[in-house]
């Protein structure tokens, strides 16, 4: 290694997660290969709906190409967000002081953690996790502490376990519901218990609700900030990337008390100054325009989920129908080999990509799971199942439940 590579700051070096290695090994096998069904990334296959794209073009033509002032976000967008929060999430906020428009939920997570976490602080999070959460805690100088999501508990939060992880250094808990990577949804009664626990122990709650619209079978999405116990201690983060297929636009938002938003605004201004102006106009059109596009995409995801779960179980994977997001976290112990080995076989021989659970966990059971993102159309999901079937038939333990 050159001295310049060695001399970089530890905080930056820590961002090179060893977990990425597992995914990189799988992806290397499909490099340059034609016709791969890539169910690795959480990237919707849909294009951003037309009326949103048109609003962005109009914004450009009308000259909205300047810095957005005030830097917390376009005023009409913050008003539209506050109406959405009240109508859909039961969260009542003052749009003037309690909303910050960010460069995606990704920025919101890091802004919130940088605003709250001191070196030595601990942040509790469910494991398996979205890789950004532990890295964000470390970037802020804190230590991630994990609470395991167990398959026997349908990957829901175990609030008793959270309680057992609290120490004098616990600053916050961050969780994702609907969940990535397991597809679980945390029920209202668990969140009520969590809210009371955190209020009593003076612990902040950070919620990533980016998958709130991707929810199936009539399952309820509960925003913890709507529960009185959590109101003043919660930073709720929402996005456009998944619900409106807007991953490339880089826009999302967070909601919290005016006091917390003031501090986070300082971090946000330091990092990006303001969120992209055109993307904010597009986000406004997304919220104010017709919502049937969201429902159409949701129904499409639901059909794919049903097909995928049924097919995987037939092939010897074990999984229930996950009630949220667009991931299936399937148990592969029936194949008698670690998930990373199976993932490589599937990538090479079936040209199908799923990610091993070891990329998402600090625990020792990551090699028991393979995550598939059903972000490809239904024909591709069927094709992936056909191809995987041919490959697992040839495996020594293939097909065993």
Residue numbers of the site for ligand PLP (CB under 6 A)? Answer: 42, 104-106, 130, 176, 180, 208, 210, 239, 241, 247, 252
Q: Which is nearer to ligand PLP, 242 or 351 (CB)?
A: 242
Q: How far is the CB of 104 from ligand PLP (least distance, A)?
A: 2
**Distances 322 to 88, 219, 236 between C-alpha atoms, Å:** 22, 10, 23
* Widest distance between CA atoms in the chain: 63
Q: Which is nearer to ligand PLP, 229 or 370 (CB)?
A: 370
Report d(CA 65, CA 349) in Å as an integer.
48
Q: Which is nearer to ligand PLP, 335 or 369 (CB)?
A: 369
163 close to 181: Cβ distance less than 8 angstroms: no
Q: How far is the CB of 231 from ligand PLP (least distance, A)?
A: 22
Q: Which is nearer to ligand PLP, 241 or 275 (CB)?
A: 241
Q: How far is the CB of 83 from ligand PLP (least distance, A)?
A: 20
The structure tokens 């116990």 sit at: 229
Report d(CA 381, CA 369) in Å as an integer.
19
223 close to 234: Cβ distance less than 8 angstroms: no
178 close to 211: Cβ distance less than 8 angstroms: yes
Q: Which is nearer to ligand PLP, 102 or 226 (CB)?
A: 102
Q: How far is the CB of 106 from ligand PLP (least distance, A)?
A: 3
Report d(CA 260, CA 112) in Å as an integer.
9
Query: 157: Cβ–Cβ under 8 A, 6 or more apart, which residues?
Result: 126, 147, 149, 175, 177, 186, 190, 191, 194
Q: Which is nearer to ligand PLP, 182 or 241 (CB)?
A: 241
Q: How far is the CB of 228 from ligand PLP (least distance, A)?
A: 26
Using Cβ positions, the residue closest to ligand PLP within the complex turns out to be: 104
Q: How far is the CB of 401 from ligand PLP (least distance, A)?
A: 29
């Amino acid at each position: 290694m050159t001295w310049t590579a060695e001399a970089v700051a530890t905080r930056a070096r820590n961002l090179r997660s060893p977990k990425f290695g597992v995914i990189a090994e799988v992806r290397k096998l499909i490099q340059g290969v034609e016709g791969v069904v890539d169910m690795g990334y959480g990237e919707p296959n849909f294009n951003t709906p037309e009326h949103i794209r048109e609003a962005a073009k109009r914004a450009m033509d009308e000259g909205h190409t300047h810095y957005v002032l005030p830097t917390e976000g376009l005023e009409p967008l913050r008003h539209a967000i506050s109406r959405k929060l009240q109508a859909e999430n039961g969260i009542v906020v003052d749009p003037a002081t309690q909303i910050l428009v960010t460069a995606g939920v990704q920025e919101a997570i890091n802004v919130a953690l940088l605003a709250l976490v001191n070196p030595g602080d601990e942040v509790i999070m469910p494991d398996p996790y979205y890789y950004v959460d532990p890295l964000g805690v470390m970037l802020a100088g804190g230590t991630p502490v994990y609470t395991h999501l167990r398959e026997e508990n349908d990957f829901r939060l175990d609030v008793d376990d959270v309680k057992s992880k609290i120490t004098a250094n616990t600053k916050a808990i961050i969780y994702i519901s609907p969940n990535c990577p397991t597809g679980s949804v945390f029920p209202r009664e668990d969140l009520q218990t969590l809210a009371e626990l955190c209020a009593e122990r003076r612990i902040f709650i950070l919620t990533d609700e980016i998958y709130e619209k991707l929810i199936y079978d009539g399952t309820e999405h509960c925003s913890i900030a709507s529960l009185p116990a959590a109101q003043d201690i919660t930073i709720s983060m929402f996005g456009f990337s998944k619900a409106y297929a807007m991953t490339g636009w880089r826009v999302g938002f967070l909601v919290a008390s005016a006091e917390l938003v003031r501090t986070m605004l300082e971090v946000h201004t330091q990092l990006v100054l303001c969120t992209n102006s055109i993307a904010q106009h597009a986000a406004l059109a997304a919220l104010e325009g017709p919502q049937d596009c969201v429902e159409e995409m949701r129904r499409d995801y639901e059909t794919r989920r049903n097909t995928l779960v049924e097919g995987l179980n037939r092939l010897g994977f074990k999984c229930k129908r996950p009630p949220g997001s667009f991931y299936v976290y399937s148990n592969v112990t029936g194949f008698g080999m670690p998930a990373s080995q199976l993932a490589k076989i599937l990538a090479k021989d079936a040209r199908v990509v799923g990610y091993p659970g070891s990329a998402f966990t600090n625990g020792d059971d990551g090699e028991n799971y393979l995550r598939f993102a059903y972000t490809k159309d239904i024909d591709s999901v069927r094709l992936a199942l056909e191809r995987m079937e041919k490959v697992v038939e040839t495996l020594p333990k293939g097909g065993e439940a």
